[in-house]
A and B are shown apart, each in its own frame.
Chain A
Amino acid sequence: MATISINHLSFSYPTEDGQKPLTLADVSATFPDGGFSLLTGPSGSGKSTLMKIMSGLYPKFGGVITHGEIQLNHTPISEIPETDRGQLIAMMFQNPNQQFAMDTVERELLFTLENQCVPPSEMMSRVDRALEYVEITALRHRQLNSLSGGEKQKVALAVIIAMKADTILLDEPFASVDPVARQLLLSKLAKLQHEEHKTIIISDHDLEDYDAYIDHLFVLNGTGNSLTLLNETDAQEKMAAFQRQDTSDQQLSLPTKVDQPVITAHDLSLTAGTSTLLKQPEINFFKHHITLLTGANGTGKSTLLMALSKLHQYDGTLLLNQKEIAKIRNNQLYRQVALVFQDADQQFLNVSVAEELALSLKNSQAAAYFKERLPGFLEKLQLDHLQDHVVYTLSGGQKKKLQILEMLIMATPVLLFDEPFTGLDFSSLQTIMAIMKQVAHDCHQTMLIVSHQLFGLDALVDYHVTLANNQLQYVEGLA
């Protein structure tokens, strides 16, 4: 049982020149005990920051609290010893990687219990229970490295359950989780709330599916200076506004005979470690079309994109414009096909936003086109005022927008996207999709997009391929 109250909290990431711009300015709120709260707000508003302060990670790991405090059961967080904190509050992170210290699932759970000084004799039963609770007993001895994003998040939840934390904070935990796993995780959280009276606070942009679960909706505004608990009607309204049109009856067409393949696979097989991900007798991806690729977590979508960009080995034939991808030299290949990585940081090469954009413009295959339109794009994406910011300190959503933009600028004929829309707020999402559509059309690009989020995609994509049971298949339905 725990009440979290935020009292006039101001928080800053001090800059080099000694300035202290406030990321959070005088925010106050109380998260009700035993409630299931959803925290939402535009990208860059400070949700992750707030969560890390609540869990006691900040200011230890960065930034300064310039004013106010957060209290947990009426005790300021800073006064709670680190070792006791785990039983009060635990956090699950946005990025499923780099969340674990140990190599296997079981050992990570044991490591956590050791940290809490649990007597060794009790450990195994607690591990058993936590794994059962999340229904991942089968993963027990798996290497954490070999798990998909969704599986890792389930393990992360199991760790939190084993810790018996009263309050569970989840920072966009479903960014890389498919709808099935997401439903499972949500229902487990609801069960924890109802049966064990845990307090649950989730941050997310995407309000879909939460309707049935949440008790409270908190909104952090764009500049991080007001955190409000919406009343029942406002909350309903906001949720309803977000209610997507049902994607299940949206129809796309199947490829036609006149379509020209740009990527062709024969007897393609992909493996990762010991598991076979794909066995594909035949598949084509078509020139000047935008194709959506979906599939459950861990089916191998990312792996396929990696194979297409020569970052993962494959067996069989995989042709790009009739040439075997594995045999094309790197500097040739990457002028024809480029990958927008799932992790935006991987894309950046320089220090500031301006330098990043300049590099793309310099090496672009359609420099003139973009030179003219760039200011407009930047403004639409609300990146125009960030030119001299260091790219690595942008918020998740800002990074994503910059990353997509700078890869669009390259105007590579074939562009692959791995989950480009994660962490984007609603309006950014629509803007970036419109820009992608425009650029793909104007620069005659072929795009292959992996995405779990389907909202609005019917307007962007031409074709839809699903990956299930080791097979790729064109389908008509979007969902």
Chain B
Amino acid sequence: MKYSNAWHLRDIILLTLIAIFFGVIYWVIGPLYNVLTVALTPVGLGPGANDVVMGIWVMAGPLSGYIFKKVGSATLGEFLGSVVEMFLGGQWGASTMISGVVQGVASELGFTFTGYKRYDWFSLNLSVLTTTIVTFGWDMIRNGYSKYHIGLLIALFIIRLISTWIFSGLLVKAIVKLLDRTHLMQTQSR
């Protein structure tokens, strides 16, 4: 299968729809994040909730990368999702779009490092790793993670890595497997 890098109207609509769907599904579990945060706040671990659900939050990136197999698809997917999120009045306001780009680029890197040639378990894992590292770096700045004790920092990083691996790795792989069987995606990117 040869994939072209041009974006067509249908790809753009599809990408946006997927991003919105994921946003809405995330929204449905929004309470989960809030409950978790409230529960962890008294011991000062509130931000950890963010790391626990991080994987769900960034799933759209690797998935778009995998589905579209185009340069920039992961980034665009996350970014469009964040624009929608901002219009829905999410908890991070104007910084949502910045996070969208950061997360998008983060998961894109996994595919970039494999030259957009490999779309397999390896590149997916690489994407999981880059996503974790880059988004963690961004939280060091935005959410003041950099001031935490090193022990906590490592713990949060590991939690985030696991969460991202479960959702953006394992789950994305399972979803893609189902999709591949329908052969419906093949007509894409024509």
* A394 proximal to B (CB < 8 A): no
Which stretch of B123-131, B144-152, B175-183 is in the interface? B175-183
Contact A392 B182 (CB under 8 A): yes
Contact of A15 with B183 at beta-carbon distance under 8 Å, contacts A61-B10, A351-B178 already known: yes
Cα distance A351–B181 in the bound complex, in angstroms:
7
Contact B10 A392 (CB under 8 A): no
B37-53 with Cβ < 8 A to chain A: none
Total interface residues on B, CB under 8 Å, equals: 8
Cβ distance B70 to chain A, nearest Cβ, rounded Å: 18
Contact B186 A16 (CB under 8 A): yes
* A390 proximal to B (CB < 8 A): yes
Interface centre among B178, B183, B184 (most CB of A within 10 A): B183
Where chain A touches its partner, the secondary structure class is loop
- Which partner residue on chain A sits nearest B187 by CB separation? A62
Give the chain B neighbours of A331 by CB distance below 8 A: none
Give the chain A neighbours of B10 by CB distance below 8 A: 61
- Which partner residue on chain B sits nearest A13 by CB separation? B187
Contact A16 B187 (CB under 8 A): no
Cα distance A61–B187 in the bound complex, in angstroms:
8
Give the chain B neighbours of A61 by CB distance below 8 A: 10, 187
* A274 proximal to B (CB < 8 A): no
- Which partner residue on chain A sits nearest B184 by CB separation? A392
Contact B184 A390 (CB under 8 A): yes
- Which partner residue on chain A sits nearest B17 by CB separation? A98
Give the chain B neighbours of A15 by CB distance below 8 A: 183
Contact A390 B187 (CB under 8 A): no
Give the chain A neighbours of B182 by CB distance below 8 A: 351, 390, 392
Cβ distance B69 to chain A, nearest Cβ, rounded Å: 17
- Which partner residue on chain B sits nearest A62 by CB separation? B187
Q: Report A311-354 CB contacts with B as 1/0, cut-off 8 Å.
A: 00000000000000000000000000000000000000001100
Cβ distance B20 to chain A, nearest Cβ, rounded Å: 14
Interface residues on A, range: under 10
Where chain B touches its partner, the secondary structure class is helix
Cα distance A352–B183 in the bound complex, in angstroms:
11
Interface centre among B182, B184, B187 (most CB of A within 10 A): B182
- Which partner residue on chain A sits nearest B178 by CB separation? A351
Cβ distance A303 to chain B, nearest Cβ, rounded Å: 21
Q: Report A378-392 CB contacts with B as 1/0, cut-off 8 Å.
A: 000000000000101
Cβ distance A473 to chain B, nearest Cβ, rounded Å: 38
Cα distance A86–B181 in the bound complex, in angstroms:
36
Give the chain B neighbours of A62 by CB distance below 8 A: 187
* A393 proximal to B (CB < 8 A): yes
Cβ distance A406 to chain B, nearest Cβ, rounded Å: 17
Cβ distance A103 to chain B, nearest Cβ, rounded Å: 13
Cα distance A393–B186 in the bound complex, in angstroms:
13
B1-54 with Cβ < 8 A to chain A: 10
Contact B184 A393 (CB under 8 A): yes
Cα distance A15–B183 in the bound complex, in angstroms:
8
Give the chain B neighbours of A351 by CB distance below 8 A: 178, 181-182
Cα distance A16–B184 in the bound complex, in angstroms:
9
Cα distance A118–B178 in the bound complex, in angstroms:
45
A1-20 with Cβ < 8 A to chain B: 15-16
- Which partner residue on chain A sits nearest B181 by CB separation? A351
Give the chain B neighbours of A390 by CB distance below 8 A: 181-184
Cα distance A16–B187 in the bound complex, in angstroms:
10
Cα distance A16–B178 in the bound complex, in angstroms:
15
Give the chain B neighbours of A393 by CB distance below 8 A: 184
B137-190 with Cβ < 8 A to chain A: 178, 181-184, 186-187
Give the chain A neighbours of B187 by CB distance below 8 A: 61-62
Cβ distance A56 to chain B, nearest Cβ, rounded Å: 14
Cα distance A390–B180 in the bound complex, in angstroms:
11
Cα distance A392–B187 in the bound complex, in angstroms:
14
Cβ distance A183 to chain B, nearest Cβ, rounded Å: 34
Cα distance A190–B60 in the bound complex, in angstroms:
48
- Which partner residue on chain B sits nearest A350 by CB separation? B178
Give the chain B neighbours of A392 by CB distance below 8 A: 182, 184
Cβ distance A84 to chain B, nearest Cβ, rounded Å: 18
Give the chain A neighbours of B183 by CB distance below 8 A: 15-16, 390
Interface centre among A15, A16, A352 (most CB of B within 10 A): A16
Cα distance A351–B183 in the bound complex, in angstroms:
10
- Which partner residue on chain B sits nearest A352 by CB separation? B181
Cα distance A390–B185 in the bound complex, in angstroms:
13
A390-411 with Cβ < 8 A to chain B: 390, 392-393
Cβ distance B133 to chain A, nearest Cβ, rounded Å: 35
Cβ distance A310 to chain B, nearest Cβ, rounded Å: 15
Cβ distance A65 to chain B, nearest Cβ, rounded Å: 14
Cα distance A230–B84 in the bound complex, in angstroms:
52
Give the chain A neighbours of B178 by CB distance below 8 A: 351
Cβ distance A435 to chain B, nearest Cβ, rounded Å: 27
Cβ distance B64 to chain A, nearest Cβ, rounded Å: 20
Cα distance A62–B8 in the bound complex, in angstroms:
13
Cα distance A393–B181 in the bound complex, in angstroms:
12
Cβ distance A154 to chain B, nearest Cβ, rounded Å: 24
Cα distance A351–B182 in the bound complex, in angstroms:
6
Cβ distance B116 to chain A, nearest Cβ, rounded Å: 23
- Which partner residue on chain A sits nearest B179 by CB separation? A351
Give the chain B neighbours of A16 by CB distance below 8 A: 183, 186
Q: Which residues of B contact A (CB under 8 A)?
A: 10, 178, 181-184, 186-187
Q: Which residues of A contact B (CB under 8 A)?
A: 15-16, 61-62, 351-352, 390, 392-393
**Known contacts A62-B187, A392-B182; can you find 15 more A-B pairs with CB under 8 A?**
A15-B183, A16-B183, A16-B186, A61-B10, A61-B187, A351-B178, A351-B181, A351-B182, A352-B181, A390-B181, A390-B182, A390-B183, A390-B184, A392-B184, A393-B184
A sample of 17 inter-chain contacts (CB < 8 A) reads A15-B183, A16-B183, A16-B186, A61-B10, A61-B187, A62-B187, A351-B178, A351-B181, A351-B182, A352-B181, A390-B181, A390-B182, A390-B183, A390-B184, A392-B182, A392-B184, A393-B184
Top 8 closest pairs, chain A to chain B, by CB: A16-B183, A351-B181, A390-B182, A62-B187, A351-B182, A392-B184, A392-B182, A390-B183
